[in-house]
Structure 1
């Protein structure tokens, strides 16, 4: 059965994207990462938030733009949105509710991961008790503002267990299990 994994590159102060959803800061931190390369082979489907799907891309202006993991992964994508366009691009399914999106993505992923992309959809998965693991690449930069990895006004404690830690020159990888 597929597990839900939230992944992304974050700044040291916990931001996935800078102000206005800017992802250009991440470009210099996307260097070789054997752990990410190994993870890509273990992903069976993506569950993507609408803002992430249509948002900024750290590969903007290159031939990797608009492709998951810069073109390193291909497969079924499920976009959680209340405003689906009239036609879907090939391989993209727009789903209007979290339960339906998770069910469809898990079915498509088989025994591989459903990789969750987007802070809002990840928070919704956490709130619903659906998220199994988190993988973050922590970049040595502070953005000061933007979209946080996890933001829950009023506060919510989420207990995590570290299951992996790898230091590379351009990022530190942390693999965590949601307890």
Structure 2
């Protein structure tokens, strides 16, 4: 099975969006942290402008990815990525397929029968490459199901104080992680943690 990597930006105090669902500050480092230009590809391409350390980090990460898994909320905010995500086929976990989808020539797929099915379909599509999981709720579901192999967390240099937390209400916490790899960028710190598959038993007493 493909490697499953949870990928998300968050503030230092753990929020991926503000109280009004505004994600701009958390993701600002992608567009204003340096002079290195990185085009994203896909149907709705963007150009990142990051520092050299962040560019090296992204150049190492993104070629590993062969599919993306996310939730309906992220799909809506991203307006369906123009029909083709830069990381490869996209699998959206949802209760119902949105109106107007799926679309011809699109590589966006909708999974209505749960997170395990979504991960299975995404890993099949990714082949020998990894699946990138994006979106707070989808990442939490994958962690609770024991389906994440690695966390790639980009910690933006700000404190939001309130909003949407990335790791709220984990059913399986505490989850023990391996030693991190740390890349210090400009306005962001990139943390990579392996998720240990052999977790210590939780003390019920």
Q: For the superposition of Structure 1 and Structure 2, which TM-score range results when normalised by the shorter chain? A: 0.7 to 0.9
Structure 1 residues 167 and 49, CA gap change in structure 2 (3 angstroms): same
CA RMSD of aligned residues (A): 2.2
Larger Rg: 2
Shift of residue 73 of structure 1? 2.3
Greater RCO, 1 or 2 (C-alpha within 8 Å, sep 6+): 1
Runs (4+) of structure 1 exceeding 3 A deviation are 65-68
1-side partners of 2:108 and 2:119: how far apart? 14
Aligned residues: 169
**112 and 154 in structure 1: CA distance in 2 versus 1, 3 angstrom threshold:** closer
Tell me, which stretches of 5 or more residues in structure 2 are unaligned? 34-49, 197-205
Consecutive unaligned residues in structure 1, runs of 5 or more: 58-64
Aligned partner of 1:53 among 59, 72, 75? 75
Which residue pairs with 1:88 in the alignment?
102
Q: CA deviation at 1:38?
A: 1.9
When normalised by structure 1's length, the TM-score is 0.86
Distance 2:108 2:143 in 1: 23
TM-score (norm 2): 0.75
| Cα distance in structure 2, aligned partners of 1:124 and 1:136 | 16
How many angstroms does 1:66 deviate by? Answer: 6.0
Cα 1:28–1:119, aligned 2, differ >3 Å: closer, same or farther?
closer
- After superposition, residues 65-84 of structure 1 pair within 5 angstroms as 67=81, 73-84=86-97
